[in-house]
Chain A
Amino acid sequence: MKKRIISSLITAVLLMGLVGCGGNSDSANSTGNNDAAQDSGEEVTLNFLTWRGDDSAAYDQVVANFNEENPNIKVNFEYVVDAYEQVLTTRLLSNDVDLFALDGHLDMYVDGGNLLELTGQSFLDNYQEGALEPCTFDGKVYGACQMFCMVNTFYNVDMLEEMGYTGEPKTWDEFIEICDKFMEKGIHPIACGNAANLSTQLGYQLLVSMIPDHSSDLFNEIVAGEAKMTDEPMATVSKLVKQVSDADYYCEGSTGLDKFGACEVFMRGEAPFLVEGSWRAITLAEDETLNWDVFSISAPGGAEDVYLFRPAQIHVINANTPHKDEALKYYEFMSRPESMEIFSSTTVQVPVGNDVTVDHPALNKVVDYMNSHKAGGDPQVKLENAEIGSLMNEYFGSITLGTPIEDAVATIEQGFENMKAQQ
């Protein structure tokens, strides 16, 4: 009898566990209940998935303002820093996300029918054309970028002045000359997160200076066989990236540093240059004593007034969300100039809205540079396959680690062939 009582208790606990396992699907399906709830003015929750936890303060402010107008619509931001693609795929398949962020490759999601078309929505008029172009396919708009960035190099103004240089290096030769002077002092001048193959950012800056109007098409052409890795401009870019690593300009241990580690090296004043992107300005802004500025490295003979323009952080709506009206309502609210201003000033990113200006000391440096230079196309923005970007990262990373260029070329060309064979 006693055994039966114990067995019954164990069974009850197991049954409770099974019911608990069904909890998630309940919450996903509760969106169906929320339709009726919304009609009666009861609460609706929108799930918004993104990886940029850095922006949480901005989102909190915008959502708080949104809730003053729409108290019955809650926006639940979820920040997934690791394995974002996996979590997003799982949530899309279970239809447990209403809005989410992407950083390119919208075509995959467009082909899969995952994105709500936004063409014709009045709030799109608030965005500059550059914010909509990466999100437009066959004339249909599926989202909008929330920040304009550039791939650039930061430099420590004070360290360069101590060496006798005012302002950024204007040419490649001047850049190398400065690096050599620091090397003579025992300072490895370039902080770069080479554990994450961020020397790619150096390669991209050089590339865009050589073919600013054509850089966003080059990689697709190489894969299609219309251009080669051994042709110009890639041949020169590869040699220059190799020149930097062979000269040991990268800070000590750079192959073991990620982007944050490299940023710390720069912020501690151990290297005068940081190869990164303007999205890092928010981190640098934390140290008010750090006197930094931005520039884009140009290749010899390349344009000196060009930077790599990268529209980023695309926000889209799940095509299958049962809360389309609420999602559009939130999207419209976050697209208002005042919301964009809050977002840009809090995240220290360049605003994407028409007539939206933000006054922030760190941001002003980036905006001033962008306004005084020409935007060159991002090689990664319209890649036909995500693996192309990954292979390019590994290409530049392997050259930085000392692989001969011809071996790196052979490896990446084999990678392109394998990629095409699997399509």
Chain B
Amino acid sequence: MRELLNSKRVRRNNAWYYLILLLPLIWYIFVFVVPMVQGIGLSLFRWDGLSPDKEFVGLENYKTLALNTPKFWPAFFNSIKYVLFVVIGCVIISIFLSILIYQKSRLNNFFRAMFYLPCVLSTTAVAFMWNNAIYNPNIGILNRSLEALGLDFLTHVWLGEPGLIIFSIGAIEIYMNLGTSILLFIAGLQDIPIELHESARIDGANRIQVFFKITMPLLSPTTSLVTVLTMISAMRSFDIMYVLSNKTTQVLATFLYDEMFTFRRVGTGSAAAVVLFLLVLVMNGIQKLIIKEDV
């Protein structure tokens, strides 16, 4: 009898929880899934985005992108370059900084707040600041500092040299993502039992060995999470790119914006968006293979 009552109670509770989960699921479907499916659908049409007429062209837009759009492939490979630079840079710098901040110090909270500040700033404001105060070739802090240190040969037109623009803007993306990444790594470090470090030291391991043999493997779930989040953020990066890059250096996000809204080719723009989505999936899959989470 008691088992019967417990079973009914469990079923009643489960039904209640499923009902509660249904609401965010419905929201997710309408806000994310439906537009995504619509976008895939639009990639099969030729449409200018405003007129009521759409022409079904099947996979023609994809063929056009691959074979007849000279700007597509440079944007595609620029996106990969940009993501790799941002992800690797962000992960390495944030691990380093989080370990520094994790040490016991009165200034810990201050540094956490300072590093998190860029995350709450408007992207356009950050882009403006970097463009005018840091990267400006004539009065920017970066070139002036290099000159003051006698490193004139290192000064560049950071947003003007075609080979450099991607990395200059990538540095800003890293700057904006550091705060979140550092907080996640600090949380990951807090989950590592202190006893493991102590016992490793007792066994004769030095700090570097402890870091690479114990800390880093145990941080791999967090590293994986930070990698994914940074990768998605970098792939979707539009604001900074649009504001700062000259029009000859594009990534997929700015390319598809031009296709859809400047040149009114919603079909090819949507096809580029689908390619971007697939690229994120592929890179996420590769990341899962490289970073083993089950330690």
| Chain A contact residues, CB within 8 Å of chain B | 3-4, 7, 10-11, 14-15, 17-18, 21, 81-83, 85-86, 89, 92-93, 108-109, 111-114, 194-197, 251-258, 260-261, 265, 270, 385-387, 390, 393-394, 397-398, 401, 411, 414-415, 418, 421-422
Inter-subunit contact A7/B247 (CB<8 Å): no
**Which residue of the partner chain, among A11, A111, A265, A397, contacts B248 with CB atoms under 8 Å?**
A397
Say yes or no: is B64 at the interface (Cβ < 8 Å to chain A).
Answer: yes
Contact present for B27 and A18 (CB under 8 Å): yes
**Interchain CB contact under 8 A, A4 and B242:** no
Nearest CB to that of A393 among chain B residues? Answer: B247
User: Closest Cβ of chain B: how far from A78's Cβ, in Å?
Assistant: 16
Cβ of B112 within 8 Å of any chain A Cβ, yes or no, is no
Residue pair A394, B239 in contact (C-beta under 8 Å): no
Report the Cα distance A10→B247, complex, angstroms.
Answer: 46
CA distance A195 to B249 in the complex (A): 10
User: A10 contacts which of B20, B161, B243 (Cβ < 8 Å)?
Assistant: B20
The digit string for B228-239, where 1 denotes a CB below 8 A from any CB of A, is: 000000000011
Residues of B within 8 A of A270 (CB): 138
Complex Cα spacing A290 to B253, Å: 41
Complex alpha-carbon distance, A108 and B266, angstroms: 13
Question: Once the chains are docked, how many angstroms separate the CA of A11 from the CA of B161?
Answer: 53
Q: List 30 A-B contacts (CB under 8 A).
A: A7-B16, A14-B24, A82-B239, A82-B243, A83-B242, A83-B261, A85-B261, A85-B262, A86-B260, A86-B261, A89-B49, A108-B50, A111-B51, A112-B52, A196-B246, A197-B246, A197-B247, A252-B137, A255-B161, A256-B135, A256-B137, A256-B160, A257-B138, A385-B263, A386-B263, A397-B248, A411-B70, A414-B70, A418-B69, A422-B265
Inter-chain contacts of A387 with B (CB < 8 A): 262-263
Q: Is the CB of B64 within 8 A of A421?
A: yes
> Per-position contact with A for B112-155: 1 when CB-CB < 8 Å, else 0?
00000000000010000001100111100000000000000000
Contacts of A265 in B (CB 8 A): 138
Closest to B164 in A: A256
Whether B264 pairs with A386 at a CB distance below 8 angstroms is yes
Interface residues of B in 34-64 (CB under 8 A from A): 48-52, 64
Those 8 A-B pairs whose CB atoms lie nearest each other, nearest first:
A253-B137, A255-B160, A256-B160, A112-B50, A256-B157, A85-B261, A112-B51, A256-B159
> Chain B residues in contact with chain A, CB under 8 A?
13, 16-17, 20, 23-24, 27, 31, 48-52, 64, 68-70, 124, 131-132, 135-138, 157-162, 238-239, 242-243, 246-248, 257-258, 260-265, 268
Min Cβ gap B270→A in Å is 13
B14 to chain A, nearest CB (A): 12
How long is the Cα–Cα vector from A17 to B157 in the complex, in angstroms? 46
By a CB distance below 8 angstroms, the chain B residues around A14 are 23-24, 27
**Given A108-B48, A113-B51, A195-B160, A394:B248 Cβ within 8 A:** yes
Which single residue of chain A is at the shortest CB-CB distance from B265?
A422
CA distance A256 to B136 in the complex (A): 7
- Measured between beta carbons, the chain B residues less than 8 angstroms from A195 are 159-160, 246
In the bound complex, what is the Cα–Cα distance between A260 and B139 (angstroms)? 13
* Among candidates B23, B243, B246, B258, residue contacting A15 with C-beta atoms closer than 8 Å: B23
B124, A89: Cβ atoms closer than 8 Å: no
Residue of A nearest to B124 (CB): A82
Task: Check B136–A397 contact: CB distance below 8 A.
Answer: no
Using Cβ atoms and an 8 Å threshold, which residues of chain A touch B265? 422
Closest partner residue, chain A, to B245 (CB atom):
A195
Closest to A108 in B: B264
Chain A residue numbers with a CB within 8 Å of B242 are 82-83
Known: A83-B261, A89-B50, A92-B50. 13 other contacts (CB 8 A): A18-B27, A86-B260, A111-B51, A114-B50, A195-B160, A252-B137, A254-B160, A261-B131, A261-B138, A390-B258, A390-B263, A414-B70, A415-B70
Give chain A residues whose Cβ lies under 8 Å from the Cβ of B247.
196-197, 390, 393-394, 397
Tell me whether A17 and B262 are in contact in the complex, defined as CB-CB below 8 angstroms, given that A196-B246, A270-B138 are known contacts: no
Q: B138 contacts which chain A residues (CB < 8 A)? A: 251-253, 257, 261, 265, 270
Q: Across the interface, do A418 and B70 meet the contact criterion of CB distance under 8 Å? A: yes
With a CB–CB cut-off of 8 A, which chain A residues contact B268? 422
Which of the residues A86, A255, A418 comes within 8 Å of B157, measured between beta carbons?
Answer: A255
A401 nearest in chain B by CB position: B162
Q: Which residues of A contact B160 (CB under 8 A)?
A: 194-195, 253-257
Determine the residue in chain B with the shortest Cβ distance to A255: B160
Chain A residues whose C-beta falls within 8 Å of the C-beta of B243 in the assembled complex: 82
Measured CB to CB, the nearest residue on chain A to B156 is A256
| Closest residue of A by beta carbon distance from B132 | A261
In the bound assembly, the distance between CA atoms of A397 and B247 in angstroms comes to 9
Q: How far is the CA of A89 from the CA of B16 in the complex (A)?
A: 42
